[in-house]
Structure 1
Amino acid sequence: MEPQLLRCFIFIPFLLLQALINLPLARSNPSNHKYKSGDPVPLYVNKVGPFQNPSETYRYFDLPFCMPAHLVDKPEALGEVLNGDRLVSAPYQLDFLIEKDTEVVCKKRLTKDEVHKFRSAVAKDYYFQMYYDDLPLWGFLGKAEKDNKADPGENKYYLFKHLHFEVLYNKDRVIEVNVRTDPSALVDLSEDKEVDADFMYTVKWKETDIPFEKRMDKYSQSSNMPHHLEIHWFSIINSCVTVLLLTGFLATILMRVLKNDFVKYAHDEETPEDQEETGWKYIHGDVFRYPKYKSVFAAALGSGTQLFAIAILVFMLALVGVFYPYNRGALFTALVVIYALTSGFAGYTAASFYCQLEGTNWVRNLLLTGSLFCGPLFLTFCFLNTVAIAYNATAALPFGTIVVIVLIWVLVTSPLLVLGGIAGKNSKAEFQAPVRTTKYPREIPPLPWYRGTLPQMAMAGFLPFSAIYIELYYIFASVWGHRIYTIYSILFIVFIILLIVTAFITVALTYFQLAAEDHEWWWRAFLCGGSTGLFIYGYCLYYYYARSDMNGFMQTSFFFGYMACICYGFFLMLGTVGFRASLFFVRHIYRSIKCE
């Protein structure tokens, strides 16, 4: 039964890949988005917020805009809600091929309170976002100008009241939509007094020969411009070549040292027995002694294995084109579903390894595995969701969405975790140690300070971090900014190099630790492998204060809170990679020599 369960855990995520690829996920397809002249084309307003704070967004009608006669909420998928999208019907009507010179939405007299709301939004550089036939469009609410007649330090604030929509079409389909504001149609918001505002819009239609299948290409052109792409590739190749050359240099040295060790130990076997063993052979009776806190260690390996599986599956979806620009919420939907379906990997790995380490309380180990990553993430979410509720922001999840996520965790994640744990417990796998472990541990000799855990973690994390440093800026500018990231092939190459460098540097430091006759390498290998996550969090501090204009308590708490969870996930994943590589290496070298 166990092999069948294991095959199920391996096969389920690939069924997910097929399902996610085949689902429309708001993607246009040849069977819809066709209109006749005069047909209504769906236009939804989404959200508004400060341009420099991507997480701080609010509902469009939280500001006193003209509302349509019948306000209709657009049904949204799980990922769209998690992304903070709140689409509702717009007051503008853009029927297919119907041009409008100047259409008045409404004539409104703004009260002092409404003037204050709009002025505050303009002062914070608010933008708005809409979707027309699933195509995104943006614009700014207003502008601020220096008042030369008054105090030079004072600004005058203006609200744009006239929008120009330009729609490109090909036969019976919408291909592109743009919106711009009329700089001459302004409402002065500088004073706290009631003002009249006539909100208007204009619609122009133009024919184009761009095919419908390529209408989303324009949103990725900014990141795929030949000049920018060339610089991007050159920077990545330069960084990767430098890191790989350094890694290869260290690998050559390590291989020569190992070769000399093997020759030396082979020679020692032929000499009289009164010679004392030294180096890593000397601790062969302790090197496979089980680590302290083995339940936590096995749980960390299980969680790291699951996160590694999630990363691989997400990359597969990205490389086949599922996460195209403005596929609203597709990434969040994929992360939630893949995390739920891969929990069996975590349960199987943790329970199997825990039983190999002769652990007995496997139920407690499974509970620890299930909460090791989910626990901190849940606590962080509770705090940040409370902050979003206090700000009345769209980042606050509705109660129904929270219930759906809890049901996924209860009905899918937990059962698969338990099934994986049962399969791992019943796998009857034994820990493969090429040498016997002595009854009593040897005393570890005094070591210099730079061989301590923290200095070794600093050395271990620097080289892998240097391999991904350049790419981090583009990722951060996409996740925490308004850039669009589409070059997943480069990201996948960088990810593979990150894994290779992490594995090698952890193996090298493990060898030097064993050569110094320090046999407690298990936790050290995991911590050194995962230390890159700490470097990434350090980069968060640099990016926030030096490369971005983010500000305010909500945006700051969201940035550092969720980045802490992401970096913690990297710590678990890369720690697992580092330990697995070190375990393979240690088994290999001790299998290659004779130990009494």
Structure 2
Amino acid sequence: MGKSTACLFGAIVILWCCISHVTSDASDHRYNKGDSVPFYANKVGPFHNPSETYRYFDLPFCSPDKVKEKKEDLGEVLNGDRLVVAPYELDFQIDREPQSICKKRLTVNEVAKFRHAVLKDYFYQMYYDDLPIWGFLGKFDSEDKDDPTGARVHLFKHVHFEILYNKDRIIDVFIRNDPRAVVDLTQNREVNVDFTYSAKWIETDTPFEKRLEKYSQTSSLSHNLEIHWFSVINSCVTVLLLTGFLAIILMRVLKNDFVKFTPDEEAVDDQEESGWKYIHGDVFSRTWNRNPAIYTVSCQLKYLSFKGVDFVLFSAFLTVIFDPAFSAIFIFMLALVGVFYPYNRGSLFTALVIIYALTSGIAGYYAASFYYMVEGKNWVKILVLTGSLFSGPLFFTFCFLNTVALAYNTTAALPFGTIVVIFLIWTLVTSPLLVLGGIAGKNSQTGFQAPCRTNKYPREIPQLPWYRTTLSQMAMAGFLPFSAIYIELYYIFASVWGHQIYTIYSILFIVFIILLIVTAFVTVALTYFQLATEDHEWWWRSFLCGGSTGLFIYGYCLYYYFARSDMSGFMQTSFFFGYMACICYGFFLMLGTVGFRAALIFVRHIYHSIKCE
């Protein structure tokens, strides 16, 4: 016990150190007059394509003879940050009159690059004392914004910085562009440009602790808060209606069933079983609660063991999500205590990688314990599937998208060294913990205890109407949970795939809990209706119905991309649909597991409450 506590404490210390390391460049953000302040240029890219970003000096700005790169953390690299020392001198409390960075004659190719960037609404991002700064490269005049052909294109050649400070600390920084200080890039010809900048320091009484509040004000505005709380109220109403449905309708039906299925002893012989009691011998038979697709393949391939494949795959599907799920829970906890403040470079990705690696033992434990509970034997096979069912598709998606990013030469492409680091983490931390968890899980569980006797051979399932098929029930099961979260989805998408900042993690946590509750209730209701029609193959059905919300979320991705965003281009489209497919797949696994677990508790309860001969 003491050893495990020490390991857990050590992991928390390492995680906190890694997160804290990316929060600041200066030790305490205190400066004396004339001190040099850390100033980094980060990246440039189209405003509407957040994944398509390039290094700052990929555009022909005034670059020094030797570009000084900042040593970046793992999370910063995963976030696509590529920081270099900016070509400006903004010492603390030193005003700068307009002065030249460099005088440059732009070639025809360089003019074409800048003109393309301006027409695509390129912006650049910098960090001054860890405060983010944004600015646009230029402007263009066109009557038709969707077709800027023939527009007059202007490049800003002067940048003015306004820096707010309080005593010895920097509070805020702004970029002002003079619309008159521009260079006309409309024609394909060489032009001379004198890139200049200036700076003005302004004293303010805003305390240092509140300098990041403005980045979260968008989420905290009264209008947005009303919409957020409307989303929560909408979700709560959905839960109340659903629980009311279960309490009034379903429980009344169950009460009548209990009365019917527990007759007097004199009438037992004359009582003909029907409904869900009639199939009590098949409900807990793992052999026949099969996945139809696997069963079809196994019937065609005689040498394939259906029982082994179905047991292993079902156990892996139920337990593979424990690693990402526990990671999400820990991320929520860190977010609620304020670790992930706006533009805390790379902290979220650093925490996600470390927590995912450290919680892999949980997935291994639950995978092996559940597999052995349903009479599995090959614990190595279940661990291999558990370690690859989620990370495998994620790995292949990453390989494809990283290749696309390399072809576009964007900052989204991970360097080889970072890929090696992630591989070593997976090899030296994730995999050993997965195996250790699996060993502990297989030694801690007893056999599956069904509340009633199970049959060796299954009963025949009666012919059912189309609306009781798997696909129809998946559509019904996914709609209600999705309706409880769809309003909040827009703000999440606008934050992940846009430039809005999401900081109301408490509301997000409430919506997440409501999503789990609604999924559990809907799956329980549909499982009862399935058993009432004497269809005993509920194991896979409950998992698929619970996870169907993930399919609805991916459908919302299509709507958001084409109707609510201005994203375009092959790279951005690939990144959006590729990574969202992995996220929705994770939701499918997580909610499917919630649905099955809730259905299992419900089914065990109702069959334990009646006398089954």
Q: 1:214 aligns with which of 207, 210, 214?
A: 210
Q: 2:552 aligns with which of 511, 535, 553?
A: 535
> Partner of 2:135: helix, strand, or coil?
strand
Residue 12 to residue 452, structure 1, CA distance change in 2 (3 Å): farther
Residue 513 to residue 567, structure 1, CA distance change in 2 (3 Å): same
Residue 383 to residue 268, structure 1, CA distance change in 2 (3 Å): farther
Which deviates the most, 182-191 or 21-30?
21-30
Specify the alignment match of 1:522 in structure 2. 539
Specify the alignment match of 1:196 in structure 2. 192
> Partner of 2:202: helix, strand, or coil?
strand
Specify the alignment match of 1:338 in structure 2. 355
Specify the alignment match of 1:88 in structure 2. 84
State whether residues 350 and 365 of structure 1, in contact with CA within 8 Å, keep that contact through their aligned partners in structure 2. yes
Residue 399 to residue 152, structure 1, CA distance change in 2 (3 Å): closer
The letter for the 2-side match of 1:578 is: G
Q: 1:581 aligns with which of 598, 605, 609?
A: 598
Specify the alignment match of 1:385 in structure 2. 402
* Residues 534-567 of structure 1: per-residue CA shift (max 9 Å, x gap): 0000000000000000000000000000000000
State whether residues 234 and 484 of structure 2, in contact with CA within 8 Å, keep that contact through their aligned partners in structure 1. no
Specify the alignment match of 1:279 in structure 2. 275
* Residues 129-169 of structure 1: per-residue CA shift (max 9 Å, x gap): 00000000001001111399xx9962011100100100001
Which deviates the most, 438-447 or 189-198?
438-447
State whether residues 23 and 347 of structure 2, in contact with CA within 8 Å, keep that contact through their aligned partners in structure 1. no
State whether residues 243 and 466 of structure 1, in contact with CA within 8 Å, keep that contact through their aligned partners in structure 2. no
Which deviates the most, 464-473 or 427-436?
427-436
**Is it true that 1:40 corresponds to 2:57 in the alignment?**
no
Which deviates the most, 262-271 or 195-204?
262-271
- Distance in 2 (alpha carbons) for counterparts of 1:580 and 1:534: 20
State, as a whole percentage, how many aligned pairs show the same letter: 73
Specify the alignment match of 1:229 in structure 2. 225
- Distance in 1 (alpha carbons) for counterparts of 2:258 and 2:137: 72
**Is it true that 1:430 corresponds to 2:447 in the alignment?**
yes
Q: Which runs of 5+ in 2 are unaligned?
A: 291-309
Residue 38 to residue 259, structure 1, CA distance change in 2 (3 Å): same
The letter for the 1-side match of 2:126 is: M
> Partner of 1:446: helix, strand, or coil?
coil
Specify the alignment match of 1:594 in structure 2. 611
Residue 29 to residue 106, structure 1, CA distance change in 2 (3 Å): closer
Q: 1:548 aligns with which of 551, 565, 570?
A: 565
Specify the alignment match of 2:93 in structure 1. 97
The letter for the 1-side match of 2:107 is: T
Specify the alignment match of 1:349 in structure 2. 366
* Residues 384-440 of structure 1: per-residue CA shift (max 9 Å, x gap): 000000000000000000000000000000001101111111114221211121111
Residue pairs, 1:85-484, within 5 angstroms = 85-146=81-142, 154-267=150-263, 269-290=265-286, 291-292=289-290, 293-484=310-501
The letter for the 1-side match of 2:482 is: F
The letter for the 2-side match of 1:322 is: V
Residue pairs, 1:55-74, within 5 angstroms = 55-74=51-70
Shift of residue 229, structure 1, vs aligned partner: 1.4
State whether residues 285 and 454 of structure 2, in contact with CA within 8 Å, keep that contact through their aligned partners in structure 1. yes
State whether residues 456 and 528 of structure 1, in contact with CA within 8 Å, keep that contact through their aligned partners in structure 2. yes
- Distance in 1 (alpha carbons) for counterparts of 2:311 and 2:220: 48
State whether residues 12 and 341 of structure 1, in contact with CA within 8 Å, keep that contact through their aligned partners in structure 2. no
Shift of residue 214, structure 1, vs aligned partner: 1.3
State whether residues 550 and 588 of structure 2, in contact with CA within 8 Å, keep that contact through their aligned partners in structure 1. yes
The letter for the 2-side match of 1:485 is: Y
The letter for the 2-side match of 1:334 is: A
Specify the alignment match of 2:304 in structure 1. none
Deviant stretches of 4+, over 3 Å: 10-23, 28-31
- Distance in 1 (alpha carbons) for counterparts of 2:428 and 2:324: 20
State whether residues 235 and 514 of structure 2, in contact with CA within 8 Å, keep that contact through their aligned partners in structure 1. no
Aligned residues: 589
Q: Which runs of 5+ in 1 are unaligned?
A: none
Shift of residue 265, structure 1, vs aligned partner: 1.1
- Distance in 2 (alpha carbons) for counterparts of 1:592 and 1:46: 64
Residue 272 to residue 114, structure 1, CA distance change in 2 (3 Å): closer
What value does the CA root-mean-square deviation take over the aligned residues?
Answer: 2.0
- Distance in 2 (alpha carbons) for counterparts of 1:147 and 1:523: 57
Shift of residue 521, structure 1, vs aligned partner: 0.5
Which deviates the most, 296-305 or 192-201?
296-305
The letter for the 1-side match of 2:194 is: D
Shift of residue 15, structure 1, vs aligned partner: 5.9
Q: 2:49 aligns with which of 45, 49, 53?
A: 53
Residue 286 to residue 503, structure 1, CA distance change in 2 (3 Å): same
Q: 2:524 aligns with which of 499, 502, 507?
A: 507
Which deviates the most, 449-458 or 24-33?
24-33
> Partner of 1:279: helix, strand, or coil?
coil
Give TM-score, length-normalised by structure 1. Answer: 0.95
